[in-house]
Structure 1
Amino acid sequence: MVSDFFFPQPGGVESHIYQLSSKLIDRGHKVIIITHNYEGRTGVRYLTNGLKVYHVPFFVIYRSTTFPTVFSFFPIFRNIVIRERIEIVHGHGSLSNLGHEAILHARAMGLRTVFTDHSLFGFADATSILTNKLLKFVLSDVDHVICVSHTCKENTVLRASLDPLMVSVIPNAVVAENFRPLNYVEPSPAPPLGETNGHPFGTAPAAVPHHQLGPHDPITIVVISRLFQNKGTDLLTAAIPRILENHTNTRFIIAGDGPKGIDLEQMIEQNVLQDRVEMIGPVRHEEVRDVMVRGHIYLHPSLTEAFGTVIVEAASCGLYVVCTQVGGIPEVLPSHMTVFARPEEDDIVAATGRAIAALRAGRVRTDKFHEQVKNMYSWTNVAKRTERVYHGISGAIGEAEFYGYEIAGAAPAGGQARSGVRSFALIDRLKRYYGCGEWAGKLFCLCIVLDYLLFLALEFWYPRADIDICRDWPRKAVENGGRDSSKDGGKDGVK
C-alpha cells in the first residue's frame, strides 16, 4: 500500500488503508505500507498485527503531499519492493504523489498494480484539469481501479477515460464495535440448543435504551471535520447562528482544525455564542466516538464527498445525520437515518430544523442505528472483495469470472476488446500512453522510456543479489481454512 496519507495524520484515506491492510493480514497475506515521514516518524515502524510501515524522508509541500519528483523515489522504492518480495502495488488517493509514482515504477519492474480513488474532482477549474491529466497518465497502465462509491466510479471513469469494466466499487466500512452508542447493551449469549429463553431467535438483541426528547430537552449537534472550504466550513459558519436562533435549547460541538477555523472563531465572537458553540480542536481517531456520543445530531455540510466514512461512524453511535446531497453521500446510509440538504445555507438550516423536530416528536428511533450499521458495513467484507481484485489481475481467477465475460474472445456492446491482464512489454505500455493526447502522449512516452532506462541502470549498479531479504512477521492462518503461510517463510499471498 502506497500513499502520502497515513497515520499519524487522521483522515478517511488513512483509516481505510490501515483497516484494509490489517484485515488482509488476518486473511494470511503480507502487507507493508509506504508513506512519507512525519515529525518524529522516519524509517520503519511496526503497528498492531505486524503491519510494517516505511516512512520515507521526502519533502512535504501541501496538506501532507510530497513534492513530485517522478524519478527520485524509484531507487528507494525498488529497494523496499525487492527486500519485502512484493508482488502487487496498491496506490491510494488522486492527490498522492507517492501513490502515483509507485504505480509508475511498479509497472517498470513488472509488478501488478491497483489504484483506489477516494475523492471527486470537477472538470472545469485549473486544479481539476491538471489533476485529471495526471490521473489519466498514471491509470493508462494500471491493472485495475477501485472506487469507494458508484458516483466516484463514474467520476473516475470520465476523468481518466477508463473502461468501466476495469473499475470496481468497494465502499469504505466502519469498525462498529469502536463506535457504540453511549448506553449500548451487549447482546445476551445464545442459550443451549433448543432453548429460546423467551426470544424467538434464541438471543436477545443488543439495545440502546430509547429516550424520546421532549420539547424543552437540550439537543447537541456535533460536527467533526477538517475545516477546509471543500468540507463546507463556510456553509457551517453561516448556518450556525441561524440554527441557534431558531432553536433556543440547542448547542454545537465542533471538532477538527484547518485554515477555516479562524472564521468559525470570529463568528462565535461576533454573535456571542461562546456558551452554545464548543470548539475542541483536532481529535485523534480513537477519540471520535467519545465526542459523537455527546450529541444527538451529526451535521455534515461537505461540498464534495466520494463516500463520507464519518457519517457512518456517526450513525453507528446513534446520531441522526444531516448531510448535503452531494457526491456519493446518498449511497452511504438509508433514508431513515439521514436528512438530506442541498449545499446551500438556507437548505442546511431547514434540514437541521426538520431533524430536530423529528427527534423531539419521536419519529426517529436512533437506538436501532448501531445494529443496522453493523450489519451493513464490515472491513472483513471489504478485504475479501479487494482480495478478489488481486486474484483477478494476477490470473488466479479467470477473466470470465472476474470481468463477467470472456474478454479475449468477445467485447461488450459498443466496447473494444482487450486483454484482462495488462502486458509488461515496453512497446505495449508505450502504445497505451501514446493515446493520452497529441502532446501529452509523447511526453508520457518519454517519461516511461526514461523510467525504464533508470530501472535498467539500477539493476546494473545495484544488483538484486546485493539487497538483503527481510524476514517476514509470523502470519496468521488464512480465515478460509488455508495453511499458515508463516511456516514457509511467507512466500504465498504477498501483497
Structure 2
Amino acid sequence: MRVLHVSDCYLPRLGGIETHVHDLTAVQRAAGLDVRVLTATPAAQPGTEDGTEVGVVRLAPRDLLDPRRPGALLRSALEAAEADVVHVHSSVVSPLAWAAARQARGLGLPVVATLHSMVRDGAATTGMRRALGPAVVEGIRWTAVSRVAARPLQEALGQPVSVLHNGIQPALWRPGPHPRPPGAGREVVTLVSALRFARRKRPHALLRLLAAVRRDVGPHVELRAVLMGDGPMWAAARRRVRALGMAGWVEMPGRCTREEVRHVLARGDVYLAPARLESFGLAALEARCAGLAVVAFAGSGVEEFVRPGVEGFLARDDDDMAAVVSRIAAQPEVLAAVRAHNLGTEPAMTWPQVLRAGLAQYTAAGAPPVVPWPRRVIDLPAGPVHQPGVLAGRSAGGR
C-alpha cells in the first residue's frame, strides 16, 4: 500500500503532530508500506539530510499560493506520489492539509483526515468546512486523536468521526533501575513538563502552579522542576522564573532530543500537563510510560490514558491542580504506587494497535486492503528524533 501523509507542520518544527507523523511513517515503513510525507515546513538547512528526510516533499507556502498556477504544484505532488490513500493531519488551521484533501478527492483518491486539535464548537471548523466544501467533507473518512476531540468535530461536520490515537512504544520510555526508588527515602521530588512555550500551552499558568506548590508543601519537601521545550514565550517565562525567585530549583533546558527527554523522565516523579485544550498529550503519554504520575485537566485528551488515582490525577482547574500536586509531592507511597502501575502495564495505544486501527481506516475509506496483514511492528530507533538540544547548559538561572 502506498500512503501519502500530508501535514502543514513537520520536523524540524517540534510538537505533537510533528512527532507523531514522523513516528507513524517509520512504523508503517517497518510494516512494509510505501510511505511519503508532504509538508509546508521548511528543512532546518535546505538541501541537507538530517535523518528525517526520507520520502519527505516540502512545498513552500508561497508556491502553493502562486496565483499564476493555483494548486498546480500540489496537484503535481499528489499525482507523483501515486498513493493508494492520502492521510491528512489537521489542526484548527491547516491550509495545506485542507487543500490536499480537496485535490485528492478531486483525483478520486481515498482520504482519511485526523484532527489533532480541540475544537470548542462548530465555529472553529468554519474555515475547514469552507475550504473543503460539502461534497469533500462527506467524502472523507474522519478521525480524531481522542474522544474529547472527536465529539465536537462530529457535531460540527454532521459526519461520523472515529478515534485514531497517537501511538507510542512503551519500552522506549521505560527507564532502567531508578537511582533512588520512590518511597525509599527520596530526598527530592522532581516535577517535569515538556511543552511548546506558546500561549495555548499556558506556560505562565504552569509557573504560577509551581510557585503555589512550592508555597504549599513547605520546606520539608525539596522540589526540583524541569520544563523542557522552546517557543516564542520561552524568554519571557525564564524572566518570570527569576522574578518569582524560583531560579534555584526550576530548570529550563530548552529544546531537547528524545534521548535527553528520556534522561529527564527517568529521574522524574510527577508530569504536569497545564494545557486546557489538550487533544491528546503525547508528551504526557511518554511520561506515563516512564513511570511518572501524570497530572492533567479533566475533560482533556489525557483522559484517554490517565485514570484518577491509577496512572495519575485529573484536576478541575488550576487551583485544584496545584492542590493535587502539593498533596502527592508529600506522599512518596502514592508516587510509588502510580509508578509501579505505570511501569508494569501498557497503555492501549501502542504502535501495533495504532497501526492496525489506521490500516482499517484506510480500507474503510476505499484503499485496497493490506495483504498480508502486518504481523508485527519493528521497534522505533531509540536515538533522538528531534534536533540536538542544549540540556546541559541552559537553565532559568543562566544567561
TM-score by length of 1: 0.67
Q: 1:326 aligns with which of 291, 299, 316?
A: 299
Distance 2:228 2:268 in 1: 12
Contact 1:46–1:53 at 8 Å: present in 2 too? no
The residue number in structure 1 matching 2:197 is 227
Q: Tell me: CA distance 1:314–1:323, structure 2 relative to 1, closer, same or farther (3 Å).
A: same
The residue number in structure 2 matching 1:57 is 60
Q: Tell me: CA distance 1:380–1:366, structure 2 relative to 1, closer, same or farther (3 Å).
A: same
1:180 aligns with 2:174: yes
Q: RMSD of aligned C-alpha atoms?
A: 3.1
The residue number in structure 1 matching 2:115 is 117
- Superposed, 1:80-119 pairs within 5 Å as 80-94=77-91, 95-119=93-117
1:349 aligns with 2:319: no
Q: 2:76 aligns with which of 56, 79, 82?
A: 79
Report how far residue 71 of structure 1 moved. Answer: 8.9
Report how far residue 143 of structure 1 moved. Answer: 2.6
Distance 1:147 1:279 in 2: 32
1:260 aligns with 2:233: yes
Q: Tell me: CA distance 1:480–1:250, structure 2 relative to 1, closer, same or farther (3 Å).
A: closer
How many residue pairs are counted as aligned between the two chains? 365
The residue number in structure 2 matching 1:485 is none
- Superposed, 1:22-33 pairs within 5 Å as 22-33=26-37
Distance 2:352 2:280 in 1: 18
The residue number in structure 1 matching 2:223 is 250
Distance 1:267 1:321 in 2: 24
Distance 1:367 1:308 in 2: 21
Distance 2:68 2:356 in 1: 34
Contact 2:88–2:101 at 8 Å: present in 1 too? yes
Letter in 2 for 1:299: L
Q: 1:157 aligns with which of 142, 154, 158?
A: 154
Distance 1:112 1:44 in 2: 32
Letter in 2 for 1:34: L
| Secondary structure in 1 matching 2:112 | strand
Report how far residue 380 of structure 1 moved. Answer: 2.1
Distance 2:44 2:268 in 1: 34
- Superposed, 1:235-246 pairs within 5 Å as 235-246=205-216
The residue number in structure 1 matching 2:133 is 137
Q: 2:277 aligns with which of 304, 308, 314?
A: 304
The residue number in structure 1 matching 2:392 is none
Letter in 2 for 1:16: H
Distance 2:320 2:293 in 1: 17
Distance 2:116 2:228 in 1: 22
Report how far residue 395 of structure 1 moved. Answer: 6.6
Distance 1:365 1:395 in 2: 42
Distance 1:129 1:389 in 2: 22
| Secondary structure in 2 matching 1:236 | helix
TM-score by length of 2: 0.81
Letter in 2 for 1:244: R
1:20 aligns with 2:24: yes
The residue number in structure 2 matching 1:420 is none
| Secondary structure in 1 matching 2:344 | helix
Distance 1:281 1:297 in 2: 19
Contact 2:230–2:255 at 8 Å: present in 1 too? yes
| Secondary structure in 2 matching 1:367 | helix
Q: Tell me: CA distance 1:80–1:280, structure 2 relative to 1, closer, same or farther (3 Å).
A: same
Contact 1:298–1:319 at 8 Å: present in 2 too? yes
The residue number in structure 2 matching 1:380 is 352
1:479 aligns with 2:374: yes
Q: Tell me: CA distance 1:395–1:273, structure 2 relative to 1, closer, same or farther (3 Å).
A: closer
Contact 1:210–1:365 at 8 Å: present in 2 too? no
Report how far residue 229 of structure 1 moved. Answer: 1.9
Q: Tell me: CA distance 1:303–1:256, structure 2 relative to 1, closer, same or farther (3 Å).
A: same
Distance 1:149 1:158 in 2: 15
1:140-177 CA distances to partner (integer Å, 9 max, x unpaired)?
24330111111111121123x2322xx22121121212
Distance 1:213 1:236 in 2: 28
Contact 1:32–1:52 at 8 Å: present in 2 too? yes
The residue number in structure 2 matching 1:269 is 242
Distance 2:255 2:224 in 1: 19
| Secondary structure in 1 matching 2:133 | helix
| Secondary structure in 2 matching 1:105 | helix
Letter in 2 for 1:380: P
| Secondary structure in 2 matching 1:364 | helix
Distance 2:68 2:158 in 1: 25
Query: If you compute each CA radius of gyration, which structure gives the higher value, 1 or 2?
Result: 1
Letter in 1 for 2:166: N
Contact 2:98–2:128 at 8 Å: present in 1 too? no
Report how far residue 226 of structure 1 moved. Answer: 0.7
- Superposed, 1:341-490 pairs within 5 Å as 341-344=315-318, 346-360=319-333, 364-373=337-346, 376-394=348-366, 396=368, 479-480=374-375
Letter in 1 for 2:189: I
Distance 1:70 1:372 in 2: 54
Residue ranges of structure 2 left out of the alignment (5+ in a row): 377-399
Contact 2:8–2:41 at 8 Å: present in 1 too? no
Letter in 2 for 1:142: G
Distance 2:191 2:312 in 1: 14
1:469-495 CA distances to partner (integer Å, 9 max, x unpaired)?
xxxxxxx986349xxxxxxxxxxxxxx
Q: Tell me: CA distance 1:264–1:480, structure 2 relative to 1, closer, same or farther (3 Å).
A: closer
Q: Tell me: CA distance 1:259–1:120, structure 2 relative to 1, closer, same or farther (3 Å).
A: same
Report how far residue 36 of structure 1 moved. Answer: 2.0
Q: Tell me: CA distance 1:113–1:42, structure 2 relative to 1, closer, same or farther (3 Å).
A: farther
Contact 2:99–2:132 at 8 Å: present in 1 too? no
Distance 1:362 1:52 in 2: 43
Report how far residue 387 of structure 1 moved. Answer: 0.8
Instruction: Report sequence identity in percent.
Output: 24
Report how far residue 298 of structure 1 moved. Answer: 0.7
Letter in 2 for 1:172: N
Q: Tell me: CA distance 1:41–1:57, structure 2 relative to 1, closer, same or farther (3 Å).
A: farther
